[in-house]
Amino acid sequence: MNWREGSLYHCLLLIFAGAGDLRRPHAVTEPISSDFDGTGIQDKVVWITGASQGIGEVLSKEFATHGAKLILSARRLSELERVRGTLSGSNAPDSIVLIPLDITAGEEVISEAVEKAEAAFGGNGIDIMVHNASAPRPQVAYSKIAEDSTKTSFAVNVIGTIALTKILAPKMAERGRGHFAVLSSVAGKVPAPGQSVYSATKFAVNGYFDTLRSEIGYTGVKVSLICPGPVKTDPTSTDDRQPLPRVTELIIRSIYYEMEETWIAQQPILSMLYLRQHFPLLASFVLQKLGPKRGEEVLDAGQNFSPLSGAKGRGVLEPATLPQAG
């Protein structure tokens, strides 16, 4: 071990030891309260894209439980109807509005969907826009990704999301209220070897919404960037990922408390987030050491690749500070 590697080793030891006790990323200014009961969500008009499966479906259940007035969108009406049938709450399932939407269909189609959503529930407008629509994540080596896959990823994750926001944001700004809750990823904060295109789309989304916040924040419109790490969508899986119900529980609290940026991750990913945030050159050095190995793992595992390794750690939103969903 030379002096450079030795210095790196000791820096990483300090970061890994301390990151578990760091509760919030730089953009979060207030700790999460332990007395969350969701009453502030009651009767809020919440529009969720990508609501037919995964995080979007479970978020729909959380919001419904807390009494939100829900508008659900995804491409397949049949799946939206299935999700609606599973929801319960003071405004669910009978009052839930379904708006089938392909977010890549162009601004004319998206504009029609926005008008329908704005007119729902007496025309009071959208209080919370949850951007959750996402393309399948291509997990292949950088030199192997297909052009069509790249185009689809950007069309859904970036272009469609921006198009919807461009149409809805002025309406929110005019009435002086509204909240964009954007489901991004830790891959939009730290390079993700083996997921170069997905990471690129999330960096783009983060840049757009950070800039949007600076442009319209004075009007009263809020923007929350929520960056989860790997999520366990199959409860029977043995992968060392964060359980989907727990992740969505933390997401809804991030939205409720209007956090500007939230990282929901565990070790070693959490430490890399802090390293990238506070010591970018050191993070670059580490990633260049890890990247080739990750690339080889992607070639071997393909779509089964998981970026997690090492011991389980604690997320930015510390579980001990929040009540379990009951």
Whether residue 288 is contained in a domain is answered as: yes
| Residue range 60-105, pLDDT digits in tens | 999 999 999 999 999 999 999 999 999 999 999 999 999 999 999 9
Higher-pLDDT residue of 121, 288: 121
Write the DSSP assignment of 56-88 as a string of letters: HHHHHHHHHHTT-EEEE--S-HHHHHHHHHH--
Contact 19, 274 (CB under 8 A): yes
Q: Does the active-site annotation cover 198?
A: yes
Whether residue 32 is contained in a domain is answered as: no
Place 8 in a pLDDT band, splitting at 50, 70 and 90: low
Whether residue 123 is contained in a domain is answered as: yes
CATH number, domain of 311, equals: 3.40.50.720
What is the domain range of residue 305?
38-320
Contact 88, 142 (CB under 8 A): no
Number of domains into which the chain is organized: 1
Asked whether the predicted pLDDT for residue 319 surpasses 50, the reply is: no
Q: Which of 5-9, 71-75, 133-137, 283-287 is predicted least confidently?
A: 5-9
For residues 271-299, give the mean pLDDT. 79
Contact 80, 86 (CB under 8 A): no
Asked whether the predicted pLDDT for residue 304 surpasses 70, the reply is: no
Whether residue 125 is contained in a domain is answered as: yes
Give me the catalytic one of 9, 198, 208, 257: 198
Contact 23, 31 (CB under 8 A): yes
Find which of 179-183, 245-249, 273-277, 305-309 is predicted with most confidence, using mean pLDDT.
Answer: 179-183
Higher-pLDDT residue of 148, 308: 148
Residues 6 or more apart whose CB falls under 8 angstroms from that of 162 comprise: 208
Place 320 in a pLDDT band, splitting at 50, 70 and 90: very low
Whether residue 325 is contained in a domain is answered as: no
Whether residue 12 is contained in a domain is answered as: no
The whole-angstrom separation of Cα 28 and Cα 178 is: 19
Instruction: Report the predicted TM-score, pTM, of the whole model to 2 decimal places.
Output: 0.81
Whether residue 31 is contained in a domain is answered as: no
Nearest to 222 by CA among 213, 235, 209, 210: 213
Contact 133, 183 (CB under 8 A): no
